[in-house]
């Protein structure tokens, strides 16, 4: 385990800029609602931003918090580790998803080490994402990642810890709760990744009117918004060839999801900023990690597991533009639910969109758990 500092490669940055400037465009409808993909106006605006991207500023943002590399099994796990000065602080593992990175939590890390309650924050890049590597010759699904992260927390001296996650981070958090229950103080999820109860289960009918609307929205998503999921879960390496070779293509693929899955402000603009989207495109490009990040979809699709009920205390924050919103009764059937809130704003990228709401909800959840040692 050793400290990590990102050093910008000017040649790779110039290559990115030159490829972006020389990219071939394709005829497309304006499609301002994004029904056929990323709206062209959004794509051109983001391309313009990246054409004059501040690479030095990017490096400063990547290095804002102390980071380290943990060597394991021939691979490298990158993580931010920010300790609180409060001796009563508990350890907190922050887990991102796709198409995200540890940068999603950049604004939350310092506040989490202070305030009430304080935390020792561990924020990894998932295997295959950003600066974390993984073998492509062997599967590495959510359960395997949970074991890797449990080992990381042991190496850092944290015997017990809380977990917060969304997207893939929520699935990995749930696997930590199943596989390492004795070590998990609690799970805080901003996406509850649970399957519906069987048709003959009475719980299936325990749905409020608002929750019925959630299920209708989810059904529309599965019909019209999961093409990326099918491709990444079945043929990720074909898609990776194109995305790893074209900054414009990579931007279109990542930005479409950031814009489509986020909530909007009063002017109709995404709560995920253009700056955050540009940083994620730059990170995936500079680390050549788009292919290895998508591989998780394939590995998880082909995993053979029967998810057990989670007995670790679990809190769920439901944000209105989240992709998957399960009825409360369904969630309570699958886990030991001790905290439930329905938020007023925010979408799939809560840490980027509404960091203060996520922070407040996480602290409320920690208070529900009560005091406890985290190391």
| 297 in active site | yes
Local structure of residue 105 (DSSP, 8 states): G
- Pairing status of strand 335-342 against strand 119-124: unpaired
- Pairing status of strand 67-72 against strand 75-82: antiparallel
Q: 304-322 in b/e burial notation, b at 16+ Cβ within 10 A? A: eeeeeebebbbbbbbbebb
Tokens of 237: 């390496």
CA distance 70 to 177: 22
Q: Select which of 42, 263, 348, 361 is catalytic.
A: 348
| 72 in active site | no
Local structure of residue 15 (DSSP, 8 states): H
User: Which CA distances in Å does 244 have to 34, 57, 198, 336, 371?
Assistant: 23, 23, 41, 42, 46
Q: Select which of 70, 96, 120, 167 is catalytic.
A: 167
Report DSSP letters for 22-47, one per residue: TPPP------TT-SSSS-HHHHHHHH
Q: Select which of 280, 297, 339, 361 is catalytic.
A: 297
CA distance 333 to 285: 41
- Pairing status of strand 184-189 against strand 310-318: parallel
Nearest to 348 by CA among 316, 323, 318: 323
| 348 in active site | yes
CA distance 69 to 2: 5
> What amino acid positions are annotated as catalytic residues?
167, 297, 348
């Amino acid at each position: 385990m050793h400290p990590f500092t990102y050093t910008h490669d000017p040649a790779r940055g110039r290559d990115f800029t030159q490829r972006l400037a020389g990219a071939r465009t394709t005829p497309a409808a304006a499609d301002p609602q994004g029904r056929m993909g990323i709206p062209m106006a959004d794509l051109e605006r983001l391309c313009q931003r990246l054409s004059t991207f501040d690479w030095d500023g990017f490096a400063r943002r990547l290095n804002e918090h102390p980071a380290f590399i943990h060597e394991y099994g021939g691979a490298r796990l990158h993580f931010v580790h920010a300790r609180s000065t409060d001796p009563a602080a508990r350890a907190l593992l922050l887990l991102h998803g796709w198409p995200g990175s540890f940068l999603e939590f950049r604004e939350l890390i310092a506040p989490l080490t202070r305030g009430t309650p304080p935390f020792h924050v561990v924020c990894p890049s998932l295997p295959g994402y950003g600066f974390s590597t993984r073998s492509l010759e062997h599967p590495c699904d959510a359960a395997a990642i949970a074991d890797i992260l449990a080992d990381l927390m042991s190496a850092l001296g944290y015997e017990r810890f809380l977990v917060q996650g969304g997207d893939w981070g929520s699935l990995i958090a749930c696997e930590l709760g199943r596989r390492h229950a004795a070590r998990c103080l609690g799970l805080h999820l901003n996406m509850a990744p649970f399957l519906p109860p069987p048709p003959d289960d009475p719980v299936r009918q325990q749905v409020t009117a608002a929750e019925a609307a959630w299920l209708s929205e989810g059904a529309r998503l599965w019909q019209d918004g999961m093409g990326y999921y099918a491709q990444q879960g079945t043929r990720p390496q074909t898609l990776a060839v194109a995305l790893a070779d074209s900054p414009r293509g990579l931007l279109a693929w990542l930005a479409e999801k950031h814009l489509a899955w986020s909530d909007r402000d009063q002017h109709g603009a995404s709560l995920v900023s253009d700056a955050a989207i540009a940083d994620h495109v730059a990170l995936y490009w500079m680390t050549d990690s788009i292919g290895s990040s998508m591989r998780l979809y394939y590995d998880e699709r082909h995993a053979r597991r029967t998810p057990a009920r989670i007995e670790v205390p679990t809190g769920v924050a439901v944000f209105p533009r989240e992709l998957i919103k399960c009825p409360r009764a369904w969630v309570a059937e699958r886990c030991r639910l001790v905290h439930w809130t329905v938020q007023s704003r925010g979408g799939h990228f809560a840490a980027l969109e509404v960091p203060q709401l996520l922070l407040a909800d996480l602290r409320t959840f920690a208070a529900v758990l009560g005091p406890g040692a985290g190391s």
